[in-house]
Amino acid sequence: MNWKRAGIAALCVVPLIILFGYGLTRDPKEIPSPLPGHDASPFALTVFAPGQAPLARAPGDTVKLADLKGQVVVLNFWASWCLSCRDEHQILSQTALDYVGKPVHFVGVLYNDEPANGTKWIEQMGGQSYPSVTDPGARTAIDYGLYGVPETYFLDANGRIAYKATGPVNERIIRYLVDSLMAVAAK
Amino acid sequence: MIRVLVALLFAGVASAQQMMPADSILEARTAEVASQLRCPVCQGLSIQDSPSELSQQMRAVVKDQLRAGKTPEEVKAYFISKYGEWILLEPKAHGFNLLVYALPVILIAAGLGVIVLAVRKWTQTPTST
Amino acid sequence: MTGLLAHDSILVSMAVVLFGMIAVPVAVRRGRRDLIPYAFAAVYTNFLLITVAALSMVYALVTHDFSVSYVAQVGSRETPLFYTVISLWGALEGSILFWAWVLSMYAAVVVWVNSRRPGNLVPYAAATLLFVSFFFAILLIGPADPFGVVKNVQPDGPGPNPLLQNHILMAIHPPLLYLGYVGMSVPFSFAVGAMLSGEVENDDWMRITRRWTLSAWALLSAAIIAGMWWSYEVLGWGGYWAWDPVENASFIPWLTATAFLHSAMVQERRGMLRLWNLNLVVGTFLLTILGTFLTRSGIVSSVHAFTTGTIGYYFLAFIAVVMLASLALVAGNSERLRSVGRFDSPMSRETVFLLNNLFLTAFMFTVLTGTLFPLAAEAIKGVKVSVGEPFFNRMSLPIIVTLLFLMGVGPALPWKAASKEEVKAKLLPPGIGASLFLVGGLLAGARNVYALLAFTFAGYAAFANLREYWIGMRARHTAHGEGWGTALFRLIGGNRHRYGGYTAHLGIILVALGIAASSTFRTEHEATIKPGETISLAGHTLRLKSMWGREEPQRSVVGATLEVMNGAAVNGTMEPRMNFYPMSQSPVPTPAVRSGFLGDLYVNLQAFRPDGSNATIRIIYEPLVPWIWFGGGVVVFGALIAIFPAGVLTGRRSEA
């Protein structure tokens, strides 16, 4: 046994082991979005679920991003077949109500789902305070670099994407983002 | 016998080639671009191969943009701007990425060198022991 | 109850294994040869205990004992019995248990067969296998415990992963893969045993494991082909290979094992390449463990990756220990393994084997770096990149066509040295095959340079390999006056190793042709049609007859019935389906495949209106795809010829 050679050979694999060790600390499914900091893509989508007063919009109305200039926009992509959308539904709906009268606009975007299923789902979940729109062909979803649902985008008053949340959002993060984006807009 | 086999074999294939749908050029260009973009929901496959709904919709976007006169590079740039470089199934050949292209070539070159030297040595020296 | 029994038998097996592992070095160092039978007994006992554990799991699955955590995870009363049994390897914990069982079985068999051999090689090999077993036992009581006790026992479970209960091939692919993967640990253990016992200068370890290596290689080949077939029949995208990390993980060790099968012949013939062969055997085993690590730890993203816990860290520790120890061992022994032989001429089969090894190794290296590169890019540059099909195709095609060419040159060239005339006489005629296939490819419309090269060299290699049979048969025919059939039979029987190899070559050529043709000439079309309307591609017309749905106990199925039209006549039906499992968000497709000699018609239901008023159908014509599956069978058949004990074919043994 030549120990010197043995040692050198062993040393060669150390970087590989370190690399694997590093890899274990990362989640390969987590892919950072390049969008935050960039202008949000414009959209004009048709309302299918009206929401509740005072946030209600008539079904068939068009929600345009251009019309929402000067407001913080919370864009939530969801679907009736999405299990984890159930976790955030109540929180989003309630938080939107809390911000009534402030320059904040919540919009739900139905992703790859039939509007009829969406309406039924909202009913089952006990209603949704803000309106939801359809996204034919998932064009808007692709414009926003969507991987899956739920995903929530926070747009600042200048129409820039400030933050993208993957997976269900919690109340703390919604409030934190909306409050700070409003504060920036007010300056 | 082989000749017959080959004739048989490729006759069927040739007829397959001639039957192409009408807008085949756009479809082929779409397939070309789509096979370089990674399906976001299935991870391993391209949006050309993946049967998932989002992939079909992304293919439609590719097709529309090509039809509107964008070049394949511009279409890819659009998807990179939305999803990051991750969306490309083949890393761009620049900077650090060059390594993954160069290493195998270096290995083969070095290996060929070693083989040439070894064979020369083994054929020249008479057998020892 | 069963859970407890199984749990205890694994715990006991650990004690037994530990004893066996320690007994061997003690026996050798202290001269206590009397201890060695006890070490061997530990190997057998381990096999019995793991068998008890594995059978308990099957029993728990079949009896729907939802108090066992693994059953609660993958079991369901609605799942058909067959899929319930095979869900033994359908998820992480079960697959580790199955792996441990296969390993313990191999260890028991290899020790049983070789226990009378004097010397320390077999005891050390047994100790190495026990060491690997010990690691899997740790997994089974730690991060991959399938026998956890469920406190809140539910009346029913979610059932296995839908992708895995959708096709019969799922019963075939994983066990083949494990049998092949685990099989590689036998030659590894003997290589390590040879180094530890100081018997590395003689080639006994290789002679003993030759059949093991071949069998493991054949199983791995079959597993890869079965995996491709499964992917083709289940995933609905019409392809069979996507360079997914899991696929790469099975392919990488196959490449080094293939390299070893060839270079081992140089060692047998010329007593050379000892160090290199040792490296290949150790490397192949490391790559099987690495592949398992990659797919079981969730370190690289993959469609098939199992969900993870802490198991990655266990694997990392094991890989680190095995890599450091075995590389140190090989390097430390390298001086004793210096080549002593020599080559007679550069124009010889030996040289082709060296090139074959270089390109196989380079292929392995390319796939490995490509698979790991996203990780390196993130670690060093902090960016997420993807390395997928376009990259692997670009990098591997030149290597593949080179290997195809070498596959024709190698069998044609003799050992030692070929004269100029001999080289001409051997290497020129296969050019006929090459030009025929080239012209065929051109006529068929192929213009891609790699596709044309692949056809050309496949033609070259096919001609060269078939010619070897022909030459041998003709010699027997003229010398002994044997009939052609007898001549072929005796020819193969007289040198099973060689002709088994040529048969495997022919199988690989069929696979290569299938891949080259299907990727070059594949055509597809997608359309949304209403019942009564038709969709056409490549001279095939399908008419949508009806859409239908049906409820099955474990799933809901939506299907489209398409009539295959032959003019106005209906020539059979195809029924692509979509399966909706309650636990899965996206439906699992079942494409319909209609196979012919020249190719498959592949139809997938992409989408449909819930009211059945239309369906989006993807129709793909896949030339020569059935040749891939058939070629895989030929490869395995070739390996079987080489594995079979001498005498089965001819009743006598001769070395040519």
* Domains in chain C, CATH or no CATH each: 1-160 (1.20.120), 188-416 (no CATH), 417-521+629-643 (no CATH), 523-627 (2.60.98)
* pLDDT above 50 for B18: no
Q: Does C326 touch chain A (CB under 8 A)?
A: no
Please answer whether residues C199 and C205 qualify as being in contact, where contact means their C-beta atoms are separated by less than 8 angstroms. Answer: yes
Residues of chain A predicted below pLDDT 50: none
- How high is the pLDDT of residue C358? 97
- How high is the pLDDT of residue B43? 64
Spell out the alpha helix ranges (H) of chain A. 3-24, 85-98, 115-124, 139-143, 171-186
| CA–centroid distance for C144 within its chain | 24
How high does pLDDT run on average in chain C?
90
Residues contacting residue A86 through CB under 8 Å, at least 6 positions apart: A125
Residue contact C237–B45, C-beta within 8 A: yes
Minimal Cα–Cα distance from A38 to chain B, Å?
Answer: 10
Which residue is closest to B35 within chain C, CA to CA? C390
Residues from chain A contacting residue C578 (CB–CB below 8 Å): none
- How high is the pLDDT of residue A81? 84
Rounded mean pLDDT of C297-305?
Answer: 65
Full strand arrangement of the beta sheet holding A44-49: A62-64, A44-49, A132-134, A104-110, A72-78, A151-155, A161-166
Residue contact B61–A142, C-beta within 8 A: yes
Rounded to an integer, what distance in angstroms lies between the CA atom of residue C340 and that of residue C270? 9
Minimal Cα–Cα distance from A91 to chain B, Å?
Answer: 26
Which pLDDT tens digit goes with each residue over C274-287?
Answer: 899 999 999 999 99
ipTM metric: 0.87
Residues contacting residue C27 through CB under 8 Å, at least 6 positions apart: C33, C34, C35, C36, C39, C123
Minimal Cα–Cα distance from B42 to chain C, Å?
Answer: 6
- How high is the pLDDT of residue B3? 40
* pLDDT above 90 for B6: no
- How high is the pLDDT of residue C654? 41
Residue contact C244–B20, C-beta within 8 A: no
- How high is the pLDDT of residue A26? 82
* pLDDT above 80 for B126: no
Residues from chain B contacting residue C343 (CB–CB below 8 Å): 119, 122-123
* Domains of chain A, earliest start first: 44-186 (3.40.30.10)
Structure tokens at C568: 């106005």
* pLDDT above 80 for C651: no
What percent of chain C stands above pLDDT 70? 96
Q: Judging by beta carbons within 10 Å of its beta carbon (0-12, 13-18, 19+), is residue A54 exposed, middle or buried?
A: exposed
* pLDDT above 70 for B129: no
Rounded to an integer, what distance in angstroms lies between the CA atom of residue B79 and that of residue B88? 9
Which pLDDT tens digit goes with each residue over C450-508?
Answer: 999 999 999 999 999 999 999 999 999 999 888 898 999 999 988 899 999 999 999 99
A-to-C residue pairs, Cβ atoms closer than 8 angstroms: 76
- How high is the pLDDT of residue A9? 82
* pLDDT above 60 for B22: no
Residues from chain C contacting residue A29 (CB–CB below 8 Å): 301
Residues from chain B contacting residue C606 (CB–CB below 8 Å): 51, 56
- How high is the pLDDT of residue C646? 62
Mean pLDDT lowest among B74-83, C506-515, C636-645: C636-645
Full strand arrangement of the beta sheet holding C615-623: C523-529, C615-623, C599-608, C592-595
* pLDDT above 50 for C656: no
Please answer whether residues C139 and C93 qualify as being in contact, where contact means their C-beta atoms are separated by less than 8 angstroms. Answer: no
- How high is the pLDDT of residue C306? 54
Spell out the alpha helix ranges (H) of C306-348. 311-332
How many angstroms separate the Cα of C39 from the Cα of each of A128, C31, C34, C45?
Answer: 69, 14, 10, 10
* pLDDT above 90 for B127: no
Rounded mean pLDDT of B83-91?
Answer: 93
* pLDDT above 50 for B96: yes
* pLDDT above 70 for C647: no
Rounded mean pLDDT of C111-122?
Answer: 93
Residue whose C-alpha is closest to residue A76's, from A32, A131, A31, A114: A131
Which residue is closest to C353 within chain B, CA to CA? B115
* pLDDT above 80 for C204: yes
How many other C-beta atoms can be found within 10 angstroms of the C-beta atom of residue C228?
24
Which pLDDT tens digit goes with each residue over C416-434?
Answer: 888 888 889 989 999 999 9
Which pLDDT tens digit goes with each residue over C335-358?
Answer: 888 766 788 888 889 999 999 999
